Amino acid sequence: MLRLLADENLNAHIVRGLRRRLDGLDLATVQSLGLAGADDPAVLQVAAEQGRVLVTQDVQTMTRFAFERVDAGLSMPGVIEIVAGAALGVVIDELAILVEASEVAEWEGQVVYVPL
């Protein structure tokens, strides 16, 4: 099961829905790690250090910083970008499938948009 890091801007309903859906889910939030207000590169660094795939709705800047890490040869254990306006039920369903059906090694250097 993937370990996740919920970005500061991620809709709290998504976090709660995933926690209800998946027993044993290892999902940390930026806030729970003391990173509230941290910039994107710092959040990506912590995700890499902890082997967590980052889940975010920040399509403006996070993707750019993620690929900058890849280009620099730094670890980037993956980013899942939630598409604006996507139905919460669909997002939670697809995230649950991704978490249960993939391994962290498959996500290295990847950015995926949900809904798929």
Q: What is the mean pLDDT of residues 96-103?
A: 96
Q: Where in the chain are the domains?
A: 3-114
Per-residue pLDDT tens over the stretch 14-69:
999 999 999 999 999 999 999 999 999 999 999 999 999 999 999 889 999 999 99
Q: What is the CATH number of domain 3-114?
A: 3.40.50
Q: How confident is the model at residue 115 (pLDDT cuts 50, 70, 90)?
A: very high
The strands making up 53-56's β-sheet, listed across from edge to edge, are 26-29, 3-6, 53-56, 79-82, 111-114
Q: How confident is the model at residue 111 (pLDDT cuts 50, 70, 90)?
A: very high
Q: How confident is the model at residue 116 (pLDDT cuts 50, 70, 90)?
A: confident
Per the CB < 8 A criterion, the answer to whether 32 and 50 are in contact is no
The continuous run of DSSP H or E covering 53 comes out as strand 53-56
Q: Is the full-model pTM beyond 0.85?
A: yes
Per the CB < 8 A criterion, the answer to whether 116 and 84 are in contact is no
